[in-house]
Amino acid sequence: MLWLWVKATWLMSLLVMLRATRGNRGKIGAQGGNLVVMPPEDGRVLLDHRDVLVELSRTPDSFPELQAKQSALLARRSLLMDKVNRFNERVCRSLSEPTNTLLGHTGPVLALASPHASFDSRTFAGPGAGVGGIGSRSQILFSSSIDRDIRVWDLSQTPPVSLYTLPEHRQGPSELIVNHNNTLLISCSADQKVIVWDLTANVPTVLYTLTLESDTVYMASLAVTQEGMLFAGASNGSIVCWDLRTGTPTATPLPMTLWNAHTALVGAMLLTPDERFVVSSAHDGSICVGEIGNATPCKFYLSGHTEAVIALAQTQTAQETHRLFSGSNDHSIVMWDMSPLYQVTPQTPTQLHSLPSAHNNQIIALAITLDNTRLFSGSQDKTIGVWDISDLTAKPKLLHQLQGHAHYVRSLSLCNVGDANTQMLCSGSYDDTIKAWPLLC
């Protein structure tokens, strides 16, 4: 690594030298018979700055040799910037190694979830509404696996340790979510059970086990409002809703709403930041935007993929810059402008950009940083794509790919480290491991 830092120092010193001259424009000097010209305020780049400078209103166009020097220096500056950019990319790649590998599951890791860094001041009124417990510890990660267990990890320790194992499901939970005030963990599985866990105690305990009156239908995706309305996407394409506030220690909430939004398994689901709309995606290739409380099951359908859509992520930004990202088995990521939803009369969201070959295989997971500048995509090609989305009008730019898993990357979660504004990326894979990646670039 020493040669990298030496080269970095050399490159950066050259860059500082060039930048320092940009504030001295429209000047000329001489030393030893060598004429040295610096550019005026018209944006032209410097020639050199080794001499005592005297004022000159503009670069004299009558000096062909100076123009040739200027062209040569422009080419040198361009080459230097290319070297700096390539060096930065190499540094990012060298630092883009997992800091820890979490071992404990004996099967593929299906889902990850972590407590929210911050939550709304409104208080959930149902069971599990207390303060404290395991959910109040920010550096916690929940994981589920085909081995049927849910594990609770303490990321504050080095290396992270598995605190508890929760073995209530008969099949591997495919989805885990934490509610907004970090008091509930909710899991669902092909065993037809949705389990609501109380996180206000030091050890998570079961509050409710929710089921449907069906021997074949199971829940595959989940989303919960701040008030405790739980939405679940089913294997038959329907959406089910439970009001968790109606539950008591002796009475389990009953399913309230059931509507058909898709024709195949609902693989992903989320609520818009204002919690007015439910967005769901399915193995039939469709994305449905349903308005909560509206009699129409699906208010808008978004068409942009040719195969199953099993990953969704959204920015937490103002309504005019609200963006949705969808990942598909067709190897593509689509970026959607969701701002039309917030017009007086809601309109259909529009497709902003499509990345048709974002990965070399199916895209299974998506995640976005708290500052809405980076999108992460997990794929069956065993890599994690790191995308620059800092400009929410521009096409996402692939910065680099994280390589470290030996099998499919099945799940992603942004985990809290230290203060509320510091995160690391956690990834779960079919290689039975969880890896923690620093967010350095």
CB atoms within 10 A of CB 418: 11
DSSP strand pairing (205-210 vs 219-224):
unpaired
257 pLDDT above the threshold of 60:
yes
Sign of torsion over alpha carbons 71, 75, 80, 84: positive
Continuous H helices in 289-368: none
- Separation of alpha carbons 240 and 290, rounded Å: 12
Q: Lowest-pLDDT range, 36-50, 286-300, 308-322, 404-418? A: 36-50
- Separation of alpha carbons 146 and 106, rounded Å: 8
> What does pLDDT average to over the chain?
81
| Residues 274-280, mean pLDDT to the nearest whole number | 95
Question: Under DSSP, is residue 84 helix (H, G, I), strand (E, B) or coil?
Answer: helix
Let me know: does 242 contact 234? Beta carbons within 8 Å: no
Percent of the chain whose pLDDT exceeds 70: 76
Q: Lowest-pLDDT range, 232-246, 367-381, 415-429? A: 415-429
295 pLDDT above the threshold of 80:
no
Confidence grade of residue 439 (pLDDT, cut at 50, 70, 90): confident
278 pLDDT above the threshold of 50:
yes
* pLDDT at res. 121: 32
* pLDDT, tens only, 314-341: 999 999 999 999 999 999 999 999 999 9
Residue 237: phi and psi, rounded to 5, are 95, 0
41 pLDDT above the threshold of 50:
no
Query: Largest Cα–Cα distance in the chain?
Result: 95
- Separation of alpha carbons 255 and 247, rounded Å: 11
The interaxial angle of helices 2-21 and 64-95, nearest 10 deg, is 140
* pLDDT, tens only, 151-201: 999 998 888 999 999 999 999 999 999 999 999 999 999 999 999 999 998
- Separation of alpha carbons 415 and 425, rounded Å: 6
122 pLDDT above the threshold of 80:
no
- Token pair of 321, please? 């810059």
* pLDDT, tens only, 335-374: 999 999 999 999 999 999 999 999 999 999 999 998 999 9
277 pLDDT above the threshold of 70:
yes
Half-sphere CA count of 91, side-chain side, radius 13 A: 17
Whether the model clears a pTM of 0.85, i.e. scores above it, the answer is no
